[in-house]
């Protein structure tokens, strides 16, 4: 006969399954209390790492409609109930298991799909949601920075062009005086021609 304590425990595990978007089943044989505390801290506030009883967990999993843990509930069992970033949590678990081989990752579920230990490791190898968001933010910022640099370069170019135009105008305003100088010899030649013409006309009557 189920005791109130067992009923309450089954209900809590069932709710943990239903409230999580992912869960990873582990065996923690040989880990100390301090190591378990370190693991919980590395998983963050959005992941509940709970030591559970196998029989009660089996009942709770069925009530939650989960069959991924069938045949896997043996030995000292703890489940990571993940409510946040599943990739980040999977990475924390696999990283901890590398440093602490006593932690054995057995299987998991992610958005209703069953993951074996290798697939959990593959999930951990993906980029976390936070990293993806930061990279997207970087991509969005990059064009603005490029645009700003382009505008600065254009502004400098325009300023240089305006400075060149001003210099050109200045040189043009000084040139007319130099261009007018050759006009004097031309005027003198015209005057000389005019003076020579009457002299020839005056000489004509004498010859007659």
- For residues 149 and 197, state if they share a domain: yes
Q: What is the CATH number of the domain that holds 68?
A: 3.30.70.1730
Task: Quote the CA–CA distance of 12 and 16 in Å, as a whole number.
Answer: 6
Do 167 and 136 fall into the same domain? yes
Residues 9 and 109 in one domain: yes
* More confident: 129 or 26: 26
- Per-residue pLDDT tens over the stretch 38-64: 999 999 999 999 999 999 999 999 999
First and final CA of the chain: distance in angstroms?
164
pLDDT tens track for 58-108:
999 999 999 889 899 999 999 999 999 999 999 999 999 999 999 999 999
**pLDDT, position 124:** 84
Number of domains in the chain: 2
Residues 21 and 68 in one domain: yes
Is 208 part of a structural domain of the chain? no
Cβ atoms within 10 Å, residue 109 = 24
DSSP label of 75? S
**Tens of pLDDT, residues 162-192:** 665 555 455 444 444 444 444 444 444 444 4
Based on the domain organization, do 40 and 117 belong to the same domain? yes
Same domain membership, residue 96 and residue 26: yes
Task: State which of 126, 159, 194 marks the end of a domain.
Answer: 126
Structural domain including 182 reads: 132-203
Instruction: Give a yes or no: residue 32 inside a domain.
Output: yes
Residues of the chain with pLDDT > 70: what percent? 64
CB 64 within 8 A of CB 14: yes
Rounded CA-CA distance 128/208 in Å is 121
- Cα 28 to the chain's mean position, in Å? 37
Residues 143 and 121 in one domain: no
Query: What mean pLDDT is predicted for residues 196-200?
Result: 43
């Amino acid at each position: 006969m189920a005791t109130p304590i067992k009923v309450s425990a089954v209900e809590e595990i069932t709710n943990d399954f239903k409230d999580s978007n992912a869960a990873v089943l582990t065996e923690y044989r040989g880990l100390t209390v301090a190591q378990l505390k370190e693991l919980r801290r590395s998983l963050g506030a959005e992941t509940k790492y709970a030591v559970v009883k196998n029989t009660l967990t089996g009942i709770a999993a069925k009530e939650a409609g989960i069959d991924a843990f069938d045949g896997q509930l043996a030995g000292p069992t703890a489940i990571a109930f993940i409510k946040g970033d599943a990739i980040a949590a999977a990475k924390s678990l696999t990283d901890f298991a590398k440093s602490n081989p006593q932690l054995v990752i057995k299987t998991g579920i992610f958005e209703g799909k069953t993951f074996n230990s290798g697939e959990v490791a593959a999930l951990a190898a993906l980029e976390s949601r936070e990293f993806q968001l930061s990279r997207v933010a970087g991509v969005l910022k990059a064009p603005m920075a490029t645009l700003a640099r382009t505008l600065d370069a254009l502004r400098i170019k325009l300023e240089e062009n305006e400075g060149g135009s001003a210099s050109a105008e200045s040189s043009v305003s000084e040139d007319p005086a130099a261009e007018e100088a050759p006009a004097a010899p031309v005027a003198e030649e015209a005057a000389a021609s005019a003076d020579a013409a009457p002299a020839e006309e005056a000489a004509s009557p004498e010859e007659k």
